Amino acid sequence: MESIIQKEKKCFFCDSVSGGICGLESHHIFPGSNRKWSEKYGLKVWLCGDEHHRNGPLSVHQNREVANRLKAIGQAKFEETYGTRDDFVRIFGRNYI
């Protein structure tokens, strides 16, 4: 499923359309066993591969605060689009807001 958070293919954080040296990469906001639910509900964003996705100090895979902020955004969009907070917690296992 396409993202319900972004309509354009550009970095969610910096608006780069090239994604820098590593290019843009799709990021499932909720990882692990919840990755399938991220896919099903369109809870994905585009990120600059190196700087904002994997390795930079403010990347979602290196900075818990940034990752949790993105999860809160994803949860809010889920609640706006699909259902209640209780629905979200039942599917994803916890509340991020």
Q: How many residues does the chain have?
A: 97
**Residue 3 domain-assigned (yes or no):** no
Which string of DSSP letters, residue by residue, matches 56-88?
STTSTTT-HHHHHHHHHHHHHHHHHHT--HHHH
The answer, yes or no, to whether residue 20 has pLDDT greater than 90, is no
The boundaries of the domain holding residue 45 are: 20-92
29: in domain: yes
Total of domains in the chain: 1
Domain membership flag for residue 8: no
Q: What is the pLDDT of residues 52-95, one digit of tens each?
A: 999 989 999 999 999 999 999 999 999 999 999 999 999 999 99
Contact 45/70 with Cβ under 8 angstroms? yes
Q: What is the pLDDT of residues 68-79, one digit of tens each?
A: 999 999 999 999
Would you tell me how many other CB atoms lie within 10 Å of the CB of residue 42?
A: 18
Using DSSP, state whether 10 is helix, strand or coil: coil
* Contact between 88 and 78 (Cβ < 8 Å): yes
Q: Is residue 53 a part of any domain in this protein?
A: yes
- Asked, for residue 69, whether it belongs to a domain, the answer is yes
* This prediction's pTM: 0.90
